[in-house]
Amino acid sequence: MLERPSQMRTNAWTGEETPIFDFPAGTIPDLASLLHLPFKVLAPPHLPKAWDWRSPDVGWGVILCDDPGRSPAEKAAAADAPKSIRRLLAARAPAGAALAPILRYQPNKPKGQLCRYFSDGGHEMLSTSAPDRGVRTGQIPQYLLIYGSPAKIPWAVQFGLNASAFVGRLDLGTDEGLEHYVDALITDWAAHARCKARKPVIWSADWGQPDVTSMMARIVGGKLAAKFAADTDFGERLWLTGPQATRTALGEALNSQRPGFICTTSHGMTGPLADSLATKAQLGSPVDTFRNVVRPVDIGGWQPGGAIWYSHACCSAGSDSVSRYADLISATQRGGQMLRQIAATAGSRVAPLPRALLGALNPLGAFVGHVEPTFDWTLREPINHQELTHTIVRCLYDRLFTAEHPAPIGWAIADLFAEAASFLSLADAPGETDARPMMKIYNQLAGIDRQNIVILGDPTVTLRPYAERVMINSNRWGETDGNRCFPARNHGLQSRNPIG
């Protein structure tokens, strides 16, 4: 039986206010206005070898903000882009081309369209809602790297593109940080001390019941930890939760393990809202079991070496100037004012922690995080109370670590956006039952929650250990870690059935 909750708990924390929200009230807007998108979202297509971004039928490209002061030829050559981005475009150019495809976001044009310019002065407008995939004229690559801040190329663009493409974003703030990341990406971290993909670290703060961190620790961190623990392909595995999940312990684990994969579940710091500088400086940073914010000094001298970090916390990837939940939770309801204050105080920005790690001397490969809070109510099916984190676990374990082929992070987490599309389509479906109004709210909340997941960094980054890759026997990948070689085996990782 569907019961209306009296309140919802979320993983945002201002340092003072208890993260409790009233249940949504009022008129529910239609889906299109709620999402600020002019098109229906579509599940990512299962293309043949969709993981193979080098194929001209799949492709990789960069999205830049259009510059009206430049000529079409200059735009086609990315003359307005930093030198590092131009180097990356040249390094990833398809056969017979000087640069990889460059697509332009135009703020004054309808959403759902990108522009491509050509050296002869011509251009074409391309639809992102029903694209032809590839790198040729009239096509949009499956893998797209947005270069620019969400203040220039809004989060809404990335949310919309995630429905049909594999999308990442780079906004590192400094030319030096950008150079570090592009150098590592072009060489696949060949010149760097590499992370150890077989040594994952999972860190789950737990404030105890009924706080949402307790649920996240159990059904996100705990389920991932159990998968890794049962898999003999992994060496040392570390799960820190409860009183062990301190900021100091996280820093020690990162430096000692040098993990290839990190998962953290916690509140994300979104305050103190009375101090805008402090809010922006620690926006989305994990908050440990004892309510201490993880600071850069706690991580110490950790050099990520191409690792991938998934952070299930409010604003872990950044914030937006307008909350997508605002139409559902009014300013007069509990929690509603906090949503609006976070948006007004932080604005549209990338969170500082992933920004620093992606621009480090030996940078992070990719950071997967949230732009809005997660609610406890949307982590379970409200009628039968089924826990709904199996897609997260499948994406971050079965798909990311598949031994069948390299698994780019964009491809690996695509099912999360398919899940968002499923919830949102149910919210917009016709039909009325006694439970329908509340289920409409539930599906909207759950869909927005998953839609607000984003990749920071390039979507082609894989978690094949950044060490020498060798082929063993029947096209099986092998890997070296130090002086040892690990062939792909017939159990564990090799036995999984990747999708696509």
Q: Write down the pTM of the prediction.
A: 0.86
CA dihedral 317, 445, 425, 400 (to 10 degrees): 40
Query: How far is Cα 447 from Cα 337, in angstroms, rounded to an integer?
Result: 22
**Tens-binned pLDDT, residue by residue, of the chain (500 aa):** 566 787 888 878 788 766 788 878 755 555 444 444 444 445 555 445 899 999 999 999 999 999 999 999 999 999 999 999 999 999 999 999 999 999 999 998 888 899 999 999 999 999 998 899 999 999 999 999 999 999 999 999 999 999 999 999 999 988 999 999 999 999 999 989 889 998 999 999 999 999 999 999 999 999 999 999 999 888 778 999 999 999 999 999 999 999 999 999 999 999 999 999 999 999 999 999 999 999 999 998 899 999 999 999 999 999 999 999 999 999 999 999 999 999 999 999 999 999 999 999 999 999 999 999 999 999 999 889 999 999 999 999 999 998 788 899 999 999 999 999 999 988 877 764 555 678 889 999 999 999 999 999 999 999 864 333 333 332 333 333 333 333 333 323 322 333 22
CA dihedral 145, 148, 151, 157 (to 10 degrees): -20
Q: Are 158 and 144 in contact (CB under 8 A)?
A: no
392 SS3 class: helix
Domain residue limits, the chain: 7-33+192-457, 60-187
217 SS3 class: helix
What is the per-residue DSSP string for 123-192? EEEEESSSPPBSSSTT-B-SEEEEES-TTTS-HHHHHHHHTTSEEEEE--SSHHHHHHHHHHHHHTTTTS
Query: How far is Cα 266 from Cα 13, in angstroms, rounded to an integer?
Result: 10
Cα angle 142, 143, 144 (rounded to 5 degrees) comes to: 115
Beta strands in 298-457 (DSSP E): 308-312, 318-319, 349-350, 366-370, 453-457
Query: How far is Cα 321 from Cα 310, in angstroms, rounded to an integer?
Result: 23
18 residue type, one letter: T
Angle between helices 436-451 and 414-427 (to 10 degrees): 150
Cβ-proximal residues to 431 (8 Å cutoff; 6+ apart), any chain: none
